[in-house]
Amino acid sequence: MTPTPLRPLTAVSRQLALSIALACAPALASAQADAPAPATASAPAEVVAVGELSSIPAPAVPAKAWLTLDVNSGQIVGANNPDQKVEPASLTKLMSAYVVFDAIKNGRLSLDQEVNVSEKAWRTEGSRMFINVNTRVKVDELLQGVIVQSGNDATVALAEAVAGSEGAFVALMNEEAKRQGLADTHYTNSPGLPDPQHMTTVRDLATLAANLVSDFPEFLHYYSQKEFTYNKIKQPNRNRLLWADPTVDGLKTGHTSSAGYCLVSTALRDGRRVVSVLVGADSDAARTEASLKLLNWSYQNFDTIKLFDEGQPAVQARVWEGEAETVDLGQTTPIWITVPRGKGPEVEPIARYTQPLVAPLTKGSEVGTVSLSLDGKVLRQEPLAVMNDVPQAGFFGRMYDKVRLMLQ
């Protein structure tokens, strides 16, 4: 918690403290090396889904698992079986596309580059773009084949273009999953063909989807494209929500007999983006209807508000042995929070940070956390960082503060 500020010292007490500091300086200096470590911030609090604090329950969803995520705040709105291992089917192509987008962004691939179609890509089973072996196809067309048509052949062709082989590309997919913290995700192929080791969770899928739309907004138009014609074969996007709701602009369907019908959907309404993940529905119609219900529930019953603006401190903390007596703690980016509708004013920020804070302090150094709570439950927890440098004070200033700490 934020320390209670000390009362100002009188002139006499200042002189007394300085005299004590001068007298104790040798002992204080020799004791510095053996001084105990300062108290640190408490362990991370348990964060709850905001839906647990709402009086409006989530809709009944006929699926193995589901989750909705507010992308602006990064909070889970509601979930059922979020960490159950599930088969992703063609939802795998979200990661395949992410790795391809990254290759384009870093100049290793370009949209107008032509890719040779290998026999392996051409022979890949399942849904197809219908590319022909030993032909050359532009990356832009292959991306439409992957995203709009869910073509397994197009996915393998892009994998080989990025990494030289599908196996090497799958290694990149798993590396990226690790980087994003997708702890329960493992890939064995790029299109999402059934395999006992090819697994994920709806929590990981939601994180991946949020990262994809945030990191690569320039490619999001592919996911809202309703149809694509290649080789004189026109195929519609399997995401029926694109026709049902104009605010929906992605993302990906998936289906196998073992995985059931799956859908990762996202919508943007009044600047607020929500991602819905649903796996294991019994039909295309069921996954579409249930996903729309989850999106509507997340928008209609919850608000996402900006609690701290960019550069706005969450707390001002006392600094010891520094050229300044206080320092701002917070984040360099805005902090948003999702709450049940109308509950924004009731959010309580609780700061916990290393005490005492002893200079020198470097801008950007993390020294604690701020928990954003509602009704005694933590909805978000974010790191607290030093927002400006605080150099160490001179000798007498340091000694003076050391004595004040001793007298507390």
Question: What pLDDT score does 5 carry?
Answer: 37
The alpha carbon dihedral of 304, 64, 55, 351 has a sign of negative
Question: What pLDDT score does 16 carry?
Answer: 44
Alpha-carbon distances of 320 from 8, 57, 325, 380, rounded to whole Å: 15, 49, 7, 29
Question: What pLDDT score does 406 carry?
Answer: 81
| Nearest C-alpha neighbor of 207 from the set 45, 69, 303, 63 | 69
Active centre residues (catalytic)? 90, 93, 150
Contact between 174 and 198 under an 8 Å Cβ cutoff? The reply is: no
Question: What pLDDT score does 212 carry?
Answer: 98
Under-50 pLDDT residues of the chain? 1-41
Question: What pLDDT score does 214 carry?
Answer: 97
Q: Could you tell me the CATH superfamily of domain 38-48+306-406?
A: D-Ala-D-Ala carboxypeptidase, C-terminal domain (2.60.410.10)
List the chain domain ranges: 38-48+306-406, 59-300
Contact between 169 and 159 under an 8 Å Cβ cutoff? The reply is: yes
pLDDT, tens only, 2-39: 433 333 444 444 444 444 444 444 444 333 433 333 44
Decide which of 3.40.710.10, 3.40.50.2300, 3.30.1490.20, 3.20.20.140 is the CATH code for 59-300.
3.40.710.10
Residue environment code for 202-240, b if the CB has 16+ CB neighbours within 10 A, otherwise e: bbbbbbbbbbbbeebeebbebbbbeebebeeeebebbbb
How far apart, in whole angstroms, are the C-alpha atoms of residue 16 and residue 20? 6
Q: Do domains 38-48+306-406 and 59-300 have the same CATH topology?
A: no
